[in-house]
Amino acid sequence: MARPIIIDTDPGQDDAIAILVALASPELDVRGITTVAGNVPQPLVTTNTLRLVELAKRTDVPVYRGCSRPIVRKLNTAEYVHGPTGIDGTDLPEPAIEPALGHGVDFIIDTCLAAADGEITICPLGPLTNIGTAIVKEPTIIPKIREIVMMGGGFREGGNTTPVAEFNIYVDPHAARIVFDSGVPMTVMPLDVTHKALVLPEHVERLRALGTPAGDASAGMLGFYVRFDIERYGFEGGPLHDPCTIAYLVAPDLFRGETVAVTVEIDSELTIGQTIADWWGMTDADPQSTVMLDVDAEAFMDLVIERIGRL
């Protein structure tokens, strides 16, 4: 049976690829997609998600608008990475469909409450505002969640927004603290692994060679996206952060990690948003997070391209 998941997202070119791969994967039953302000503000993340659902010809999947700002801090966006639209590099038409009625946080709560214990997987690809808010509003959803499989954090790799903080955690560290401290089993794709999951120029060409609207849009978006990390970090390509979560759900053996306790710094101006792992068991905290550290990068990219080829 396909695994029921909710995707929570702020597209973002790498979010876009994650959404396309998920919607192309029969192993996953995408119950709905919730949007959150992050890479670009609401309502742009919502419009972008609607565009992607149409591109994938999966308008059966409802898209819910979620939170418009972090719980405590002002919204920080990342147009410097993703361009002013969030998905620069392609020119997808204005969506014909509308967001579903209701709020994303309530969709998460209602879907979990209607499910059996341990049934629903939540897959956050942006700041954790919606997930943290859902947990605070209705903590009885916690036992319904099988696992949160998320992109965020940086451990031995450091940060990409401050020296120690990764973007998704930095934007809403308070929400991230709520989620990591909730006791829900977590599988975490931090920069430590996503910086090994590089999309190279040859992968962009393979996507373009698919000769389909989804292949063209993916090649266009990634062709734009890779320039930032190549210039900023001297990488050979761009880290395909968010698709690591979906690839893990489809093919977990591609990834290797360690299960440890993780929490998030919220008090220090210098290190706010840092994810802290207890690698050596120095605290009494339960090891609830599997932090991924390695990936079979070539098999990962093969999977991404093969799935986009199905659309």
Q: Could you list the residues that contact ligand BDR (CB under 6 A)?
A: 12, 14-15, 39, 78, 81, 125-126, 151, 160, 166-168, 241-242
Residue whose CB is less far from ligand BDR, 19 or 109? 19
* Residue 166 binding: pick among ligand BDR, Ca ion, none (C-beta 5-8 Å cut-off by kind): ligand BDR
Residue whose CB is less far from ligand BDR, 92 or 109? 92
The burial of 110, by beta-carbon neighbours within 10 Å (0-12 exposed, 13-18 middle, 19 or more buried), is given as middle
Tell me how far, at minimum, the Cβ of 152 lies from Ca ion, in Å.
9
Using the contact rule CB under 5 A, the part of the chain among 62-70, 133-141, 242-250, 268-276 near Ca ion is 242-250
Tell me how far, at minimum, the Cβ of 196 lies from ligand BDR, in Å.
14
Q: C-alpha 247: how far from its chain's center?
A: 11
Q: DSSP per residue over 57-119, as a string?
A: T-TTS-EEE--SS-SSSPP---HHHH-TTSSTT--PPPPSS-PPSS-HHHHHHHHHHTSPTT-
82 counts as catalytic: no
- Binding residue (CB under 5 A) for Ca ion from 15, 147, 172, 265: 15
How many residues are listed for the chain in this entry? 311
The answer to whether 150 and 123 have CB atoms below 8 angstroms apart is yes
Residue 172 found at the interface with Ca ion (CB under 5 A)? no
Residue whose CB is less far from ligand BDR, 81 or 164? 81
Residue whose CB is less far from ligand BDR, 147 or 229? 229
* Residue 160 binding: pick among ligand BDR, Ca ion, none (C-beta 5-8 Å cut-off by kind): ligand BDR
Tell me how far, at minimum, the Cβ of 170 lies from ligand BDR, in Å.
9
Tell me how far, at minimum, the Cβ of 41 lies from ligand BDR, in Å.
14
Q: In this structure, what DSSP letter does residue 295 have?
A: E
Sorted by sequence, the CB contacts under 8 Å of residue 112 that are 6+ apart come out as: 120, 134, 138, 141, 144, 145
Q: C-alpha 61: how far from its chain's center?
A: 17
Count other C-beta atoms under 10 Å from residue 73's C-beta: 17
- Catalytic residue numbers? 241
